[in-house]
Amino acid sequence: EAGVTQFPSHSVIEKGQTVTLRCDPISGHDNLYWYRRVMGKEIKFLLHFVKESKQDESGMPNNRFLAERTGGTYSTLKVQPAELEDSGVYFCASSQETVSTYEQYFGPGTRLTVT
């Protein structure tokens, strides 16, 4: 079974540009999560999809971030326009259930560098 995949693995863009990150969850996982780790700090929750619906987007930092999950399969996270403080590693995760005892399966992350 394929794991969670993310594309690209690394992106370097200039301040003011737009970047779109993609996540493909494990097949059959209705729950999809985005997280971000800024340099040396904790991994922080951004948002949670159940199928194509946003269940919780309380962690989204501002309206420059837009997440979508059309059709309830893969998801994209767009940053427009990018700022220096957006640099970090963006992780995607998926799970079958939202019960707290269930693990989430994480992708390898996309390292975003804004210069």
Select from 7, 13, 17, 43 the one that contacts other proteins (CB under 8 A).
Answer: 43
Cβ closest to other proteins, residue 17 vs residue 56:
56
Q: Which helix (H) or strand (E) holds 8?
A: none
- Window 10-39: residues binding other proteins (CB under 8 A): 33, 35, 37
> Which x/- pattern over 61-90 shows residues binding other proteins (rule: CB under 8 A)?
------------------------------
Select from 11, 94, 104, 114 the one that contacts other proteins (CB under 8 A).
Answer: 104
DSSP per residue over 44-111, as a string? EEEEEEETTEEEE-TT--STTEEEE-GGGS-EEEEESS--GGG-EEEEEEEES---TTS--EE---EE
**25 DSSP assignment:** -
Contact residues: other proteins, CB under 8 A = 3-4, 33, 35, 37, 40-45, 48, 55-56, 59, 91, 93, 97-109
